[in-house]
Amino acid sequence: MRSSPRPFAALLAALALTAGLSLIGTPAVAHSDEAPAATEASDVSIAADTYTWKNARIDGGGFVPGIVFNRSEKNLAYARTDIGGAYRWDQSGKQWKPLLDWVDWDRWGWTGVVSLASDTVDPDNVYAAVGTYTNSWDPTDGAVLRSSDRGASWKAATLPFKLGGNMPGRGMGERLAVDPNKNSVLYLGAPSGNGLWRSTDAGVSWSEVTAFPNPGNYAQDPSDTSGYGNDNQGIVWVTFDERSGSAGSATQDIYVGVADKENTVYRSTDGGATWSRIPGQPTGYLAHKGVLDSATGHLYLTLSDTGGPYDGGKGRIWRYDTASGAWQDVSPVAEADAYYGFSGLSVDRQKPGTLMATAYSSWWPDTQIFRSTDSGATWTQAWDYTGYPNRSNRYTLDVSSVPWLSWGASPAPPETAPKLGWMTEALEIDPFDSDRMMYGTGATVYGTEDLTSWDSGGTFKITPMVKGIEETAVNDLASPPSGAPLLSALGDIGGFRHTDLDAVPDLMYTSPNLDSTTSLDFAESSPGTVVRVGNSDAAPHIGFSTDNGANWFQGSEPSGVTGGGTVAAAADGSGFVWSPEGAGVHHTTGFGTSWTASTGIPAGATVESDRKNPEKFYGFEAGTFYVSTDGGATFTAEATGLPAEGNVRFQALPGTEGDIWLAGGSDTGAYGLWRSTDSGATFTKSAGVEQADSVGFGKAAPGASYRTVFVSAKIGGVRGIFRSTDAGASWTRINDDAHQWGWTGAAITGDPRVYGRVYVSTNGRGIQVGETSDSGGGGTDPGTDPGTDPGPEQPADAACAVTYAVTNQWPGGFQADVTVTNTGDAAYNGWKLGWSFPGGQQISQIWNASHRQDGVKVTVTDAGWNGTVAPGSSAGFGFTGSWAGSNAEPAAFTLDGQACTVG
């Protein structure tokens, strides 16, 4: 249930402000230009079982540094993320489709997208420059991916250097550009002093433009020796002046932005044969963006004194007249008043002279967006002070579709909740619709469809336009036997209690708010008891819940704690063991009012609990397994010879004392999957599992006597997500090549209530949920799994009664109230009510519950606070809906799969 992330995974979560719906249409599949490696022969079933995949919806959760509209086809747009791949806009559903889920384990770095380019000559063509880090953290070189079917399939041209989708300066761009007149010609600005590159065969091959004179010289932190902050940010954008070419002939005038404060803009007037610094340009700044308004001949630059995306002090906006060669400072504020850099930049292709820009690093009190309708001569801004600290906004911001964007905050003016944004380096006006604009933030994509109300003195409405983008980095997952089906531990936004996998949660964990949750656990026999730990600027780093994560309270902590580490809850919730960063392993009884150092176990060890014996806890560090039989007070070293290198994750089997599975290792040492049935005294390596990185358990298969085991592993020469229903004797791959999501090694768990369901962590593509169509699966039978303790306390017979009443009805619409009564002798600890509408009715709004509707089938889930229903008590909810033809009441209801009486 917890993870000690690989170094690169931890860095991704820390350095990117990051990470649901099913794929729309055909999933993307990669086709490498190089022949794939041969697959080793094996008895394992490497053909994927029939699984469907979707995200547990969160909507957003990470930095979106780039949005690209195609300029020749309406409604064709793409978005890039720093670690979570690329997406294409689906206008029919007003949502985004993921395009790079096929990226595999070995090339995980290709999930970082440094630039996108959409071909205006042939809109079917799209290109992505991929690679996450330019230093040693990313083992693979970068590549330019090309697709001739809008991202449904791809081919790759591997570059002789790395690209940095998650490096400093990633909000600048776009580095990749297609010639708008001769689309076989592309340019790519490279980092790390690698210069400017060009392809003349539509991205198949690339070569350096040796005539380009300046590879850049700016680094965020030259003193950093890691290769991260001290990397030369290089060439950061390429812009064509399409007026200087004609269809089929290469564009002659090309502008290039360089990370060099004294020489930031270059131009070629002969199709890239020669280049020169444009005289008279501004100095002392980096040009984050360069956008040409071809109708007016103006090239606009947004400038900052740093490369972003977090920092930025001074900034300016300059305009270059390409006809006269004149430069002019058209900044919306005086230089002395600019405490942020400018970055986001777009021109209205329908209204020459109209442009917008963002103050990307204005963290407090809010970001700012500027708009000019006269080529930058005058500006208005999204909000103004009306007398400090009060402000007047030209916009309304409705986050009801993604309510957690408020962060549950109630700040004092001039701050607001939710904020207009931060890290706003991407802003684009739809080239076909002056009313539509989208912009990226550190957590979401916002947009409007009535932008021109700005100019008429009215207010325009901003809403999240992020559905489908799932960008969270997942550190840990837990699926309790009752209550919410899933609890998540996420980088940057903490994590959520997921009561409905298809609905966006209302709010992340609070009290305390943790920047990133590193580990969480629940008490196996008392799943209302939950603990989580994580990173924050100051104490506390730990929180407890007694209602399955619905509400939290802060815990105390040992002295010296600097980070979350890992945490474990006793099987009955009577105590906890915590291995935080900055302090050694500690234990406590109760809810952590005081902590006592554990003995016999080294600092930094990963800790877990036995899922049967509340006095037994386990630890692992550097190849040695540790066991405590006194609630974590003392540990004894037991098994050795386990992986001494790499990351190791282990889990104890629910319902059985001392049954432990351990996954991990490294390519240079022991690597695989091990099992112990004697509480860690000895371990046996699983034959045939070449590598394994995370392990978890789900509901046993029908007729099976052992819980289903899930692993992220390499078996039979194939990397993937595997399932075993016979305690590891055989394995079946359950994902496929279209669903790989890069690195999946942080956490995996099955659902103890639904056979076959699995939750998979990713590092930038959120929480993946797999469902089997196996005939033995389906349903949410909460009864006892073979060989395990009982699950949630739900009645086996018809221990429920439902009343359904239409309380109001009008032409085409109605309101109904529903009451669920517990007629059994055990409490409901979370409930899910199902029915089918006989007349095709559709629910439009619901209160005191959440719902999912598929055709006539409806599933309603408790709202959390009303999930516990004592015997003889009731829970109620209401909804409004639509009907046509008839509005007959449902004839039958089920509660968690069991039939209810109706009356």
Exposed/middle/buried for residue 408 (C-beta within 10 Å: 0-12, 13-18, 19+): middle
Give the C-alpha separation, 756 to 708, whole Å.
8
Q: What is the DSSP string of 348-378?
A: -TTSTT-EEEEETT--SS--EEEEESSTTSS
Give the C-alpha separation, 271 to 250, whole Å.
6
Q: What is the DSSP string of 32-44?
A: ESSPPPPPPP-SS
The helix (H) or strand (E) run that includes residue 624 is strand 624-628
Residue 750 has a CB neighbour count (10 Å cut-off) of 23
Q: 261-297 burial, b if ≥16 CB within 10 A, otherwise e?
A: bebbbbbbeebbeebebbeebbeebbbbbbbbbbebe
Which residues, other chains included, contact 480 with Cβ-Cβ below 8 Å and sequence gap of 6+? 487, 522, 527, 530, 548, 752
The amino acid present at 405, given as its one-letter code, is: L
Task: Give the phi and the psi of residue 14 in degrees, each rounded to 5.
Answer: -80, -35
- The active-site residue, picked from 492, 500, 502, 736, is 492
Angle at 812 between CA 809 and CA 814, to 5 degrees: 30
- The active-site residue, picked from 82, 101, 502, 896, is 82
Residue 260, both tokens: 């060099």
Give the C-alpha separation, 247 to 255, whole Å.
19
Active site residue 82: yes
Facing residues of 150 across strands? Answer: none
Give the C-alpha separation, 494 to 511, whole Å.
11
Q: What is the DSSP string of 46-77?
A: -SPPSEEEEE----B-S---EEEE-SSSTT-E
Angle at 632 between CA 626 and CA 635, to 5 degrees: 30
Q: 76-94 burial, b if ≥16 CB within 10 A, otherwise e?
A: bbbbbbbbbbbbbbbeeee
Residue 747, both tokens: 């956490």
Active site residue 492: yes
Facing residues of 522 across strands? Answer: 530
How far from the centroid of its chain's Cα atoms is residue 817's Cα? 36
Give the C-alpha separation, 647 to 6, whole Å.
6
Give the C-alpha separation, 802 to 892, whole Å.
9
CB 720 within 8 A of CB 47: no
CB 544 within 8 A of CB 531: yes
Q: Which of 66, 181, 214, 171 is nearest to 128 (CA)?
A: 66
Output the CA–CA distances (angstroms, integers) from residue 620 to 542, 609, 650, 697, 821, in the order listed.
21, 12, 9, 19, 47
Give the C-alpha separation, 191 to 234, whole Å.
4
How many residues would you count in the chain? 903
Which residues, other chains included, contact 306 with Cβ-Cβ below 8 Å and sequence gap of 6+? 220, 286, 312, 313, 341, 361
Active site residues: 82, 492
